[in-house]
Structure formats: C-alpha cells, structure tokens
Chain A
Amino acid sequence: MLRLRDAFSLPLVSASEGALRNWRRTERAGLAVLLMIFVCSSAYAATVVSGHDPIPVVLWRWAPLLLWGFLFNLIISALSMAVGTAAGLPLGIMQMSPNPLVSRPARLVTQFFRNAPWLVLLFICVLLLPFEFRVFGLRIPFPDWAKAVIGFALPAMANVAEIVRGAVQSVPSGQWESAESLCFSRRQTMMQIILPQCVKRMLPPWMNLYSLITMSSVNASVVGVNEMLTITTQVHAAEGSRPELLAPLYSFALVCFFIYSYPIGRWTEYLERKYQVKE
C-alpha cells in the first residue's frame, strides 16, 4: 500500500540488489554512452565550417574554469549534506520520541520538507532569506550560494531524518527488550545499542541521497548561483555564442557529473555488500 508518507522517497541512483554484480559493467557502459555523445556532438560541431577555433581547443581553453565551477557544485552539495545530516539526525531521533509534543512537530517538519519540490524550496531560500545578517554590530553578508546550501540542506535534512527513522525501526524489537530488561535507560539504549547498529544500515541510502543532492546542485543555476552550469552558459557566450558549441559543452558537464558519481556508486556497492555479508 503506497501511503502518502512513503510516496515521497527518493529515486534510487545507486544499484538495487540485483544489479550489484553488474555495477561496474553498467557504469562502464554508461560512460561509453556519454563519451560517445560527447565525441559525436563535438565531431558534428567540427563540421560546421565557421573559421572559429575547433572544439578541443575551446575546451582546453575553458576547461579549468569549467572545472572550478564543477568544484563549486561539489562544495555546495558537500556543505548541504553536512548541514542536512547534522540537522536530520536529531530530527529523526525526535520523530521517535515517546513524547507526542516532540514527535508530532518533528514528523510534520520531516514530511513537509520531504514532500516539497526541491526547486521551490530553493527559490524560497534564495528569495526570502535576508541578504545579510547583523550580529553584534557586524554585517555578515549572506551570499546566494550560501542560501542555496540551505535550500538543499532542507530536503536533505528531511530525508536523513527518514533514513534514521527507517534504520532504527529496522532494529529488531528484541534489542529494545533486552536493553530494557538490563536496566538501560531509553537514552542509553539509543546511544549505545540501537544507533551503533543503525550506522551500517543508514550508509547506503545516505550515499544515495548524497548522489541526488550532487545532481540537484545544478538547479542552483536557475536561481542565479554561479556554478558550473551558469559558467557553461558564460563560456558559450564568450565563444561568440556559436550554437554548435552547446551540445559539446553540455555533454562535457554530463561527463563530469558522471565521472563523479561513479566512485560514489562503487563505494555504495561496496558498503551494501559489506553490510549484507556481516548480517
């Protein structure tokens, strides 16, 4: 039964159980496809006789800048995941509190930020958060990219909370019972017995979330943050807005993101396998 609450889980970027063995072959195939697209579009662009520099030269010239932009994407997503995880862990634990005054608001917050479309949250953060803070007479500017970090951290926080909740609920109830009969308090049980067992279970979906946040970081270009996609557009303009450059430039971005996801996927596969063997 698909409950509304469960409907808002994340699509799986990482390998499902059946595809674990085929992961490496699959990813090589994917890389092959993308590289083919890249090469084809570049080749086509090269056939456009215009007297301008050929594609490899253009890319060589602009690659450092584009890669800096890509790095910025990675920084944004890493920061968002850090903030989101730091906020999501306590939120997830609060959801399971026996005190309804704590658990109900926690659930509401989690469900809200899970259900809201990420682009809308991004807009809300960028447009509605103040552009600077005044603290103790100091003016601290709040740049757009920082607001984007918050914008991504919010759904990340909600998803981490759900991951935590799912992991804790998957620990057999016998653990709670035996801890209780050995006189552990609820807090001791959580910290020493339940949560350590959950870390393994939480890692694969957490890695999956990290992948998704990294993919979503390009959405920040829509709200004006100067990351790889915006830089690509600027590069295109700098090269005289030659239309045939667009396909190679964008496929270059696709290849960059793909190459980044590959190690994450490998590591997730490794973790999933390690976790399955231990159990």
Chain B
Amino acid sequence: MTEIVLPKPEPSAAGPSGRPLISLRDVHKSFGSVQVINGVSLDVARGQTICIIGPSGSGKSTLIRCINALVPINSGSIKVDGIEVNDPKLDKLALRRKVGIVFQQYNLFPHKTALQNIMMAPVTVLKQDKVEVEARAHALLKKVRLSGKEQAYPGELSGGQQQRVAIARALAMRPDIMLFDEVTAALDPETKKEVLYTIQDLAKEGMTCIVVTHEMGFAREVADHVYFTEGGVIVEHAPPAEFFGKAKDPRTREFLSQVL
C-alpha cells in the first residue's frame, strides 16, 4: 500500500504551487461493518487534474463525497485549501463554495429550466445580484456549448446535455475545485465525448479537477496524475505515461488488462 505525497507538481498555467490545494491523510470510512475507505492519503496541487480509477466498490465515489463533506469520515484528515473537513465546527457553506461536484445521475432540478438550474444557487444561497448571475449563466451555457437551451427543461435534454448543464451549474458557484463522480457512466458513447471535451477544456484552463472515471483514454490524455484504488486503498499512482505503460503493481496490471 503506497501512500506517498505527490511528487513535485509540474509547473502549470496556474502558477507555482506551495502547499497542495487538497490534502488527504489516512482517511478511513466505514458504513456499518463494511470498511469502504481504508487509509487513503493523496495530495492535489492547484491546477492539477487527477483521475481516480478502479473497480466498482473500491470506494471512489465515497471518497469524492467525503471531500466536500457530503459523507463524514471516521478518521483521518482532509484539508481543502486550509479548511479541515473533518472538523465538527466546519463551515460547510465556505467549503462548498470552493468545491463543486458533478454526479453520475446529473441530478438537475426537473422543475426548473436549464438557465434557472444554473442561476438558482448563486441567487438563493449566495444572494448575488440576479442580473449579474443571469449574464454569468448565459456565459456558462455558452462555455459548455449549450447556448440556445436556456429555456429547456431537463426532461427535454439528452443525457449528455443534462450533464453539461450540471457542470455549468456547479461552475456558477465559482469553485476552485471541481469533483466529477463517474459523470459519463450513464451516457452512451456519442454523448460521452461532449462531456469529456467539456471537462478537458476546464482542465486546460487550469481548474483543479478530481475525476473518478472509467474512461482510460480520457485519463491518459487529460490527467496529470492517475490513482488506482482497490478495496478502499490506493494501490498505485503515477503520471499517465508511466501508469498505463509500465504499471508496477500486479493488481494494477490485472485491472488495466481487463479494461484496456
């Protein structure tokens, strides 16, 4: 079980990074008697994109949800930009303003249009000016290549379009970090590409991303670092070239041989 601090991050467009933006140390989480996360430590520097891959049930989705405090951890520490997530007095609002998350099931609000979905949180929660938020929402829809779909309801959009609206919705809160939980798993191959391109654009612009995915091609192209989890621990991690080329651990190689 290797749990090493990330190697020196490559100089990214976002500038030099000092301490890591996200830092997990020896995180444990169990549901009842089932140990889902069994001592995970990793660091993510600002501007980095990391991919987490692994078989189902290896705790990836739970890990993501622990980072933005949707699921509390049993022990260990998670630090997001200096905020300790495991703190009982955590200011959840402050944390979630920094961390945006996109789910596998999109989870758009079906009774609101795409534009309203994007605008709802900044207006209602952050109490920002409506006119300004609307302008930003239009810009975000343009960014995810869905201009013209402002008045569409989620039921009228395809899966890929819904997912891109979900990404825009998370971006509307202007987070520093974006978490993606197997966002293309529920999509068919054509629509997958649209979403993956969107994430790739985000990564290129310097957004710090943690992407849980099954898309090996995407991981190879976009990730700065790839982590392989199994049984609640990180088995191996490396930059993509090394990871996909010469994986060290036999479990990693077995998993890769099954999916590639």
Q: Residues of A with Cβ closer than 8 Å to B?
A: 172, 174-175, 177-185, 188, 192-193, 196-197, 278-279
A193–B109 CB distance below 8 A: yes
Known: A172-B105, A192-B124. A181 touches B110 (CB 8 A): no
Q: How distant is the Cα of A183 from the Cα of B155 in the complex, in angstroms?
A: 24
- The chain B residue with its CB closest to the CB of A175 is B107
B93 at the interface (CB under 8 A from A): yes
Mask of B116-147 contacts with A, CB within 8 angstroms, 1/0 = 00001100111000000000000000000000
Q: How far is the CB of A165 from chain B (nearest CB, A)?
A: 20
B92 at the interface (CB under 8 A from A): yes
Q: Which of B100, B107, B111, B121 contacts A174 (CB 8 A)?
A: B107
189-224 of chain B: CB within 8 A of chain A:
none
B46 at the interface (CB under 8 A from A): no
- Chain A residues positioned under 8 Å from B126 (CB to CB): 183
B169 at the interface (CB under 8 A from A): yes
Known: A174-B107, A193-B109, A197-B110. A182 touches B173 (CB 8 A): yes
The interface size bin for chain B is 20 to 34
Known: A183-B125, A188-B125, A197-B111. A178 touches B173 (CB 8 A): no
A sample of 25 cross-chain residue pairs with beta-carbon separation below 8 angstroms, ordered by A number, consists of A172-B105, A175-B107, A175-B109, A178-B101, A178-B103, A178-B107, A178-B108, A178-B109, A180-B70, A181-B68, A181-B170, A182-B96, A182-B120, A182-B121, A182-B173, A183-B96, A183-B121, A183-B126, A183-B173, A184-B125, A188-B124, A192-B120, A196-B111, A278-B155, A279-B155
Q: How distant is the Cα of A92 from the Cα of B213 in the complex, in angstroms?
A: 39
40-72 of chain B: CB within 8 A of chain A:
65, 68, 70
Mask of B207-251 contacts with A, CB within 8 angstroms, 1/0 = 000000000000000000000000000000000000000000000
- Chain A residues positioned under 8 Å from B149 (CB to CB): none
Q: How distant is the Cα of A179 from the Cα of B101 in the complex, in angstroms?
A: 11
B79 at the interface (CB under 8 A from A): no
Q: Which of A174, A179, A180 contacts B105 (CB 8 A)?
A: A174
Q: How far is the CB of A181 from chain B (nearest CB, A)?
A: 5
A177–B103 CB distance below 8 A: yes
169-191 of chain B: CB within 8 A of chain A:
169-170, 173
B97 at the interface (CB under 8 A from A): yes
Majority SS of interface residues in chain A? helix
- Chain A residues positioned under 8 Å from B92 (CB to CB): 183
- The chain A residue with its CB closest to the CB of B124 is A188
B111–A182 CB distance below 8 A: no
- Chain B residues positioned under 8 Å from A184 (CB to CB): 121, 124-125
- Chain B residues positioned under 8 Å from A182 (CB to CB): 96, 120-121, 125, 169-170, 173
- Chain A residues positioned under 8 Å from B110 (CB to CB): 197
Q: How far is the CB of B126 from chain A (nearest CB, A)?
A: 8
Q: How distant is the Cα of A197 from the Cα of B153 in the complex, in angstroms?
A: 13
- Please give 8 more A-B residue pairs, beta carbons under 8 A apart, in addition to A175-B107, A180-B70, A196-B111: A172-B105, A177-B107, A178-B101, A179-B109, A182-B121, A183-B92, A183-B125, A183-B173
- Chain B residues positioned under 8 Å from A279 (CB to CB): 155
- Chain B residues positioned under 8 Å from A196 (CB to CB): 111
Most chain B CB inside 10 Å of its own CB: which residue of A180, A181, A184: A181
- Chain B residues positioned under 8 Å from A278 (CB to CB): 155
- Chain A residues positioned under 8 Å from B93 (CB to CB): 183
Q: How distant is the Cα of A233 from the Cα of B65 in the complex, in angstroms?
A: 68
A174–B155 CB distance below 8 A: no
Q: How far is the CB of A66 from chain B (nearest CB, A)?
A: 45
- Chain B residues positioned under 8 Å from A172 (CB to CB): 105, 107
Q: How far is the CB of A271 from chain B (nearest CB, A)?
A: 16
Q: How far is the CB of A19 from chain B (nearest CB, A)?
A: 26
- Chain B residues positioned under 8 Å from A183 (CB to CB): 92-93, 96-97, 121, 125-126, 173
Q: How distant is the Cα of A184 from the Cα of B92 in the complex, in angstroms?
A: 10
- Chain A residues positioned under 8 Å from B68 (CB to CB): 181
- Chain A residues positioned under 8 Å from B97 (CB to CB): 183
Most chain B CB inside 10 Å of its own CB: which residue of A177, A178, A185: A178
Q: How distant is the Cα of A196 from the Cα of B106 in the complex, in angstroms?
A: 19
Mask of B83-115 contacts with A, CB within 8 angstroms, 1/0 = 000000000110011011101011111110000
- The chain B residue with its CB closest to the CB of A194 is B109
B103–A174 CB distance below 8 A: yes
Q: How distant is the Cα of A174 from the Cα of B102 in the complex, in angstroms?
A: 11
Q: How distant is the Cα of A177 from the Cα of B121 in the complex, in angstroms?
A: 13
- Chain B residues positioned under 8 Å from A193 (CB to CB): 109
Q: How far is the CB of B81 from chain A (nearest CB, A)?
A: 16
Q: How distant is the Cα of A180 from the Cα of B68 in the complex, in angstroms?
A: 10
